[in-house]
Amino acid sequence: EVQLVESGGGLVQPGGSLRLSCAASGFTFSSYWMHWVRQAPGKGLVWVSRINTDGDSTKYADSVKGRFTISRDNAKNTLYLQMNSLIAEDTAVYYCAKGDPQPYWGQGTLVTVSS
Amino acid sequence: QSVLTQPPSASGTPGQRVTISCSGSSSNIGSDTVNWYQQFPGTAPKLLIYRNDQRPSGVPDRFSGSKSGTSASLAISGLHSGDEADYYCAAWDDILSGWVFGGGTKLTVL
């Protein structure tokens, strides 16, 4: 059974940093592109970033470019999202997701940016 | 402003068939497949349809998807109250090199 478990969310002050992790199991992690998607309270889904299988190709939404870094450790079956210079607009539930052709999402971790 | 366009709301009565549309462009729906998600309040999105019209194991055949050109549709037949949820379409975008989503459609069963 595919499982994705996010962790690392919490309350952080504006300008602060957080590192999210996503532990994967139940599938060959190293064979799939992985994504982070976020959802602000009461809002829709917004794609944040993606990484290819080897970790040498990454892309970001304009809203997080230069502040967030996606990475993966295929030996540990874990996806990461390093978030720096956080602003209030980054407040959201962050989901990690296994890529196409049949995506699967974790349960999400809440990040709150507030003073 | 979402890249894919969905109606913000849809409604139907029990037993009825409803459709939700999703409009995109040549860089996303026009060149790749569409996925549909169902989301209940406070829970993670659940994959309902992938590759335009494929249902994951466990998804009832009341749910069906289709795609034509740069648009896609999700149809739900035999509507019941348990289908009240938000529905999102998604696709790969060749320009962004990432996923794009619709703004979501809130389905109400009257």
- Locus of tokens 């289709």: B66
For residue range A32-59, list pLDDT tens digits in order.
999 999 999 999 999 999 999 999 999 9
Q: Which positions of chain A have pLDDT values less than 50?
A: none
Q: Do B88 and A44 touch (CB under 8 A)?
A: yes
Residues contacting A112, CB < 8 A, separation 6+: A9, A10, A11, A12, A91
pLDDT band at B96 (very low <50, low <70, confident <90, very high): very high
How far apart CA B74 and CA A43 sit, in angstroms, is 21
Residue (of A65, A98, A62, A64) closest to A79 by Cα position: A98
Residue B5 belongs to what H/E stretch? none
Mean pLDDT of chain B: 96
Closest residue, chain B, to A33 (C-alpha): B98
A59–B33 CB contact, under 8 Å = no
B100 Cα to chain A: minimum distance (Å): 6
Beta bridge partners of A68: A83
The burial of B89, by beta-carbon neighbours within 10 Å (0-12 exposed, 13-18 middle, 19 or more buried), is given as: buried
Of B1, B3, B99, which Cα lies nearest the Cα of B50?
B99
Does position B1 have pLDDT exceeding 90, yes or no? Answer: no
Look at residues B37, B68, B64, B38 and name the one whose alpha carbon lies nearest to residue B53: B64
pLDDT surpassing 90 at residue B101: yes
As a whole number of angstroms, the distance between CA A9 and CA A6 comes to 8
Burial A90-102 (b: 16+ CB within 10 A, else e): bbbbbbbbbbbeb
Chain B CB contacts of A107 below 8 Å: 43-44
Q: What is the pLDDT of residue B99?
A: 97
Of B47, B102, B104, the CB nearest to A103: B47
Output the CA torsion A88→A85→A36→B75 (10° steps): 30
Q: Is the pLDDT of residue B48 over 90?
A: yes
Segment B12-17 shows an average pLDDT of 96
